[in-house]
Amino acid sequence: MLTIKDLTVSIHGKTILKGLNLDVKEGEVHAIMGPNGSGKSTLASVIAGRDLFDVDKGEITYMGRNIFDMPAETRAREGLFLGFQYPVEIPGVSIANFMRTAINEKRKHLGLDPLTGAEFLRVMEEKKKMVDIQSKLASRSVNEGFSGGEKKKNEIFQMAMLEPRLAILDETDSGLDIDALKVVANGVNKLRRKDNATIVITHYQRLLDYIIPDFVHVLYDGSIIKSGGKELAVELEEKGYDWVKKEAGAGNAA
Protein backbone atom coordinates (compact mmCIF):
# COMPACT_ATOMS: atom_id res chain seq x y z
CA MET A 1 0.00 0.00 0.00
CA LEU A 2 2.79 2.39 0.94
CA THR A 3 6.39 1.87 -0.02
CA ILE A 4 9.09 4.35 0.87
CA LYS A 5 12.53 3.88 -0.64
CA ASP A 6 15.68 5.77 0.27
CA LEU A 7 13.72 8.93 1.14
CA THR A 8 15.92 11.97 1.73
CA VAL A 9 14.20 15.20 2.71
CA SER A 10 15.51 18.62 3.72
CA ILE A 11 14.15 21.97 4.81
CA HIS A 12 16.09 25.19 4.19
CA GLY A 13 19.14 23.10 3.27
CA LYS A 14 19.07 21.07 6.48
CA THR A 15 18.64 17.35 5.86
CA ILE A 16 16.00 15.79 8.10
CA LEU A 17 15.24 12.40 6.60
CA LYS A 18 18.30 10.48 5.42
CA GLY A 19 17.55 7.54 3.17
CA LEU A 20 14.48 6.22 4.97
CA ASN A 21 12.85 2.94 3.96
CA LEU A 22 9.43 1.64 4.99
CA ASP A 23 6.91 -0.85 3.63
CA VAL A 24 3.30 -0.90 4.83
CA LYS A 25 0.83 -3.49 3.60
CA GLU A 26 -2.95 -3.73 3.88
CA GLY A 27 -4.22 -4.83 7.26
CA GLU A 28 -1.05 -3.83 9.10
CA VAL A 29 -0.48 -1.45 11.99
CA HIS A 30 2.97 0.10 12.17
CA ALA A 31 4.30 2.09 15.09
CA ILE A 32 7.09 4.58 14.50
CA MET A 33 8.87 5.59 17.67
CA GLY A 34 11.83 7.79 18.33
CA PRO A 35 13.12 10.70 20.38
CA ASN A 36 12.20 14.34 19.64
CA GLY A 37 13.77 15.75 16.52
CA SER A 38 14.36 12.41 14.84
CA GLY A 39 12.11 13.31 11.88
CA LYS A 40 8.83 11.56 12.77
CA SER A 41 6.52 14.51 12.04
CA THR A 42 8.47 15.44 8.90
CA LEU A 43 7.86 11.94 7.58
CA ALA A 44 4.11 12.26 8.23
CA SER A 45 3.98 15.71 6.59
CA VAL A 46 5.87 14.60 3.48
CA ILE A 47 3.57 11.61 2.98
CA ALA A 48 0.51 13.85 3.38
CA GLY A 49 1.83 16.41 0.87
CA ARG A 50 2.84 19.45 2.88
CA ASP A 51 4.97 21.58 0.55
CA LEU A 52 7.38 22.99 3.12
CA PHE A 53 10.01 20.37 2.40
CA ASP A 54 12.42 19.52 -0.40
CA VAL A 55 12.51 15.89 -1.41
CA ASP A 56 16.13 15.43 -2.45
CA LYS A 57 16.13 11.74 -3.20
CA GLY A 58 14.07 8.57 -3.01
CA GLU A 59 10.50 7.65 -3.80
CA ILE A 60 7.15 7.03 -2.18
CA THR A 61 4.59 4.79 -3.81
CA TYR A 62 1.01 4.93 -2.53
CA MET A 63 -1.56 2.46 -3.91
CA GLY A 64 0.80 1.75 -6.79
CA ARG A 65 1.22 5.40 -7.79
CA ASN A 66 4.06 7.84 -7.36
CA ILE A 67 2.76 9.92 -4.48
CA PHE A 68 4.61 13.04 -5.66
CA ASP A 69 2.41 13.11 -8.77
CA MET A 70 -0.62 13.74 -6.58
CA PRO A 71 -1.41 17.07 -4.86
CA ALA A 72 -2.27 16.86 -1.17
CA GLU A 73 -6.05 16.96 -1.72
CA THR A 74 -5.87 14.11 -4.24
CA ARG A 75 -3.92 11.97 -1.79
CA ALA A 76 -6.62 12.65 0.79
CA ARG A 77 -9.40 11.76 -1.65
CA GLU A 78 -7.53 8.55 -2.45
CA GLY A 79 -7.86 7.55 1.17
CA LEU A 80 -4.81 9.02 2.90
CA PHE A 81 -5.56 10.53 6.29
CA LEU A 82 -3.29 12.45 8.64
CA GLY A 83 -4.28 12.84 12.27
CA PHE A 84 -2.50 16.09 13.16
CA GLN A 85 -0.28 16.56 16.16
CA TYR A 86 -1.56 20.13 16.52
CA PRO A 87 -5.01 20.34 14.88
CA VAL A 88 -5.65 23.91 13.77
CA GLU A 89 -8.72 26.03 14.61
CA ILE A 90 -11.05 27.18 11.84
CA PRO A 91 -13.39 29.71 13.46
CA GLY A 92 -17.00 29.84 12.29
CA VAL A 93 -16.83 26.57 10.31
CA SER A 94 -18.85 23.82 12.00
CA ILE A 95 -17.39 20.34 12.10
CA ALA A 96 -20.52 19.08 10.38
CA ASN A 97 -20.09 21.52 7.49
CA PHE A 98 -16.36 20.80 7.29
CA MET A 99 -16.87 17.04 7.18
CA ARG A 100 -19.72 17.22 4.71
CA THR A 101 -17.57 19.27 2.36
CA ALA A 102 -14.66 16.85 2.76
CA ILE A 103 -16.78 13.72 2.25
CA ASN A 104 -18.53 15.12 -0.80
CA GLU A 105 -15.22 16.17 -2.37
CA LYS A 106 -14.02 12.63 -1.89
CA ARG A 107 -17.22 11.16 -3.30
CA LYS A 108 -17.00 13.45 -6.32
CA HIS A 109 -13.43 12.26 -6.90
CA LEU A 110 -14.62 8.66 -6.77
CA GLY A 111 -17.50 9.38 -9.14
CA LEU A 112 -20.22 9.06 -6.49
CA ASP A 113 -23.19 11.37 -5.86
CA PRO A 114 -22.85 13.73 -2.91
CA LEU A 115 -24.51 12.71 0.36
CA THR A 116 -27.78 14.48 1.04
CA GLY A 117 -28.19 16.35 4.31
CA ALA A 118 -30.20 13.49 5.82
CA GLU A 119 -27.75 10.80 4.69
CA PHE A 120 -24.87 12.80 6.04
CA LEU A 121 -26.52 13.26 9.43
CA ARG A 122 -27.20 9.53 9.67
CA VAL A 123 -23.55 8.69 8.92
CA MET A 124 -22.40 11.29 11.40
CA GLU A 125 -24.57 9.87 14.20
CA GLU A 126 -23.32 6.37 13.49
CA LYS A 127 -19.66 7.41 13.56
CA LYS A 128 -20.06 9.52 16.66
CA LYS A 129 -21.35 6.46 18.47
CA MET A 130 -18.61 4.31 17.04
CA VAL A 131 -15.84 6.50 18.36
CA ASP A 132 -17.71 7.57 21.49
CA ILE A 133 -17.89 11.33 20.91
CA GLN A 134 -20.52 13.50 22.58
CA SER A 135 -23.17 14.79 20.24
CA LYS A 136 -22.57 18.52 20.69
CA LEU A 137 -19.08 18.36 19.19
CA ALA A 138 -20.36 18.36 15.61
CA SER A 139 -22.08 21.72 15.82
CA ARG A 140 -19.02 23.46 17.21
CA SER A 141 -16.51 25.24 15.02
CA VAL A 142 -13.56 23.10 13.93
CA ASN A 143 -11.25 22.83 16.96
CA GLU A 144 -12.19 26.31 18.18
CA GLY A 145 -11.88 26.48 21.94
CA PHE A 146 -11.34 22.71 22.15
CA SER A 147 -9.23 21.23 24.91
CA GLY A 148 -6.18 19.20 23.86
CA GLY A 149 -8.11 15.97 24.39
CA GLU A 150 -11.15 17.20 22.43
CA LYS A 151 -8.95 18.14 19.48
CA LYS A 152 -7.44 14.66 19.32
CA LYS A 153 -10.80 12.94 19.70
CA ASN A 154 -12.07 15.15 16.90
CA GLU A 155 -9.24 13.88 14.69
CA ILE A 156 -10.36 10.32 15.35
CA PHE A 157 -13.96 11.25 14.62
CA GLN A 158 -12.88 12.74 11.27
CA MET A 159 -10.92 9.60 10.55
CA ALA A 160 -14.05 7.52 11.19
CA MET A 161 -16.06 9.78 8.88
CA LEU A 162 -13.55 9.63 6.04
CA GLU A 163 -12.81 5.87 6.30
CA PRO A 164 -9.20 6.11 5.11
CA ARG A 165 -7.19 3.36 3.44
CA LEU A 166 -4.07 4.59 5.16
CA ALA A 167 -4.23 6.60 8.38
CA ILE A 168 -1.16 8.27 9.85
CA LEU A 169 -1.60 9.38 13.44
CA ASP A 170 1.05 11.90 14.36
CA GLU A 171 1.57 11.87 18.14
CA THR A 172 -2.16 11.61 18.62
CA ASP A 173 -1.49 10.40 22.18
CA SER A 174 0.60 13.37 23.31
CA GLY A 175 -0.99 15.39 26.08
CA LEU A 176 -3.90 13.00 26.58
CA ASP A 177 -5.14 11.72 29.91
CA ILE A 178 -5.82 8.02 30.21
CA ASP A 179 -9.53 8.31 29.40
CA ALA A 180 -8.97 10.33 26.24
CA LEU A 181 -6.19 7.92 25.30
CA LYS A 182 -8.65 5.03 25.55
CA VAL A 183 -11.17 6.84 23.35
CA VAL A 184 -8.50 7.42 20.71
CA ALA A 185 -7.21 3.83 20.86
CA ASN A 186 -10.71 2.41 20.84
CA GLY A 187 -11.54 4.43 17.73
CA VAL A 188 -8.45 3.22 15.91
CA ASN A 189 -9.13 -0.40 16.85
CA LYS A 190 -12.75 -0.25 15.71
CA LEU A 191 -11.73 1.21 12.36
CA ARG A 192 -9.09 -1.43 11.79
CA ARG A 193 -9.89 -3.61 8.79
CA LYS A 194 -8.17 -6.11 6.53
CA ASP A 195 -7.99 -3.66 3.67
CA ASN A 196 -6.68 -0.61 5.50
CA ALA A 197 -3.50 0.25 7.33
CA THR A 198 -2.40 2.54 10.14
CA ILE A 199 0.87 4.21 10.99
CA VAL A 200 0.98 5.32 14.62
CA ILE A 201 3.71 7.85 15.36
CA THR A 202 4.45 8.12 19.04
CA HIS A 203 7.07 8.85 21.59
CA TYR A 204 5.67 6.65 24.32
CA GLN A 205 4.95 2.99 24.55
CA ARG A 206 1.78 3.84 26.53
CA LEU A 207 -0.53 4.09 23.48
CA LEU A 208 0.73 0.74 22.25
CA ASP A 209 -0.83 -0.92 25.30
CA TYR A 210 -4.15 -0.17 23.62
CA ILE A 211 -3.28 -0.25 19.94
CA ILE A 212 -1.33 -3.44 19.30
CA PRO A 213 1.07 -2.87 16.40
CA ASP A 214 2.27 -5.54 13.99
CA PHE A 215 5.59 -3.76 13.57
CA VAL A 216 7.55 -1.27 15.61
CA HIS A 217 10.25 0.92 14.00
CA VAL A 218 12.76 3.16 15.71
CA LEU A 219 13.38 6.42 13.82
CA TYR A 220 16.58 8.10 14.82
CA ASP A 221 18.41 10.96 13.10
CA GLY A 222 16.43 10.66 9.89
CA SER A 223 16.41 6.94 9.30
CA ILE A 224 14.92 3.77 10.71
CA ILE A 225 17.63 2.16 12.74
CA LYS A 226 15.74 -0.81 14.15
CA SER A 227 12.51 -2.66 13.38
CA GLY A 228 10.78 -5.42 15.27
CA GLY A 229 7.48 -6.73 16.59
CA LYS A 230 5.36 -5.28 19.38
CA GLU A 231 7.88 -6.49 22.01
CA LEU A 232 10.37 -3.89 20.74
CA ALA A 233 8.10 -1.14 22.10
CA VAL A 234 8.19 -2.73 25.56
CA GLU A 235 11.94 -3.02 25.40
CA LEU A 236 12.25 0.65 24.45
CA GLU A 237 10.02 1.65 27.33
CA GLU A 238 12.22 -0.27 29.77
CA LYS A 239 15.63 0.57 28.44
CA GLY A 240 15.15 3.93 26.62
CA TYR A 241 16.59 4.71 23.20
CA ASP A 242 20.29 4.71 24.07
CA TRP A 243 20.93 1.02 23.51
CA VAL A 244 19.34 1.15 20.04
CA LYS A 245 21.46 4.18 19.19
CA LYS A 246 24.60 2.35 20.39
CA GLU A 247 23.69 -0.77 18.46
CA ALA A 248 23.10 1.28 15.33
CA GLY A 249 26.30 3.25 15.93
CA ALA A 250 28.26 0.00 16.27
CA GLY A 251 26.64 -1.30 13.08
CA ASN A 252 27.66 1.84 11.19
CA ALA A 253 31.21 1.70 12.54
CA ALA A 254 31.53 -1.94 11.48
Partner 1 sequence: MSDKNNQILEEIGGSDYKYGFYTDIEMDQAPPGLTEDTVRFISAKKNEPDFMLAFRLRAFRHWKTLKEPDWAHVEYPPINYQDLIYYSAPRKRPKYDSLDEVDPELLETFEKLGIPLDEQKMLAGVAVDAVMDSVSVGSTFKKTLAEHGIIFCSFSEALQKHPGLIKKHMGTVVPYTDNYFAALNSAVFSDGSFAYIPKGVKCPLELSTYFRINAAKTGQFERTLIVAEEGSYVSYMEGCTAPIRDENQLHAAIVEIIAHKDAEVKYSTVQNWWPGDKEGKGGVYNFVTKRGICEGDNAKISWTQVETGSAITWKYPSLILKGNNSTGEFYSVAVTNNRQQADTGTKMIHLGKNTKSTIISKGISGGRSNNSYRGLVKTGRKAENARNFSQCDSLLLGDQCGAHTFPYIDVGNRSSIVEHEATTSKISEDQLFYCLQRGIDMEGAIGLIVNGYAKEVLSKLPMEFAVEAQKLLSVNLEGSVG
Interacting residues toward partner 1 by CB under 8 A: 48-50, 71-73, 76-77, 81-82, 84, 86-93, 97-99, 101-102, 105-106, 109, 141, 158, 162
Spatial separation of the C-alpha atoms in residues 77 and 101, rounded to whole Å: 12
Q: How far is the CB of 60 from partner 1 (least distance, A)?
A: 16
Pick from 97, 92, 61, 62: nearest CA to 77:
62
Q: How far is the CB of 230 from partner 1 (least distance, A)?
A: 28
Q: Kindly tell me which of 112 and 212 has the beta carbon lying closer to partner 1.
A: 112
Q: Kindly tell me which of 78 and 213 has the beta carbon lying closer to partner 1.
A: 78
Q: How far is the CB of 147 from partner 1 (least distance, A)?
A: 18
Q: Kindly tell me which of 59 and 89 has the beta carbon lying closer to partner 1.
A: 89
Please answer whether residues 34 and 226 qualify as being in contact, where contact means their C-beta atoms are separated by less than 8 angstroms.
no
β pairing state of 215-220 and 54-62: unpaired
Pick from 253, 210, 250, 208: nearest CA to 231:
208
Enumerate the β-bridge partners of residue 198.
Answer: 29, 167
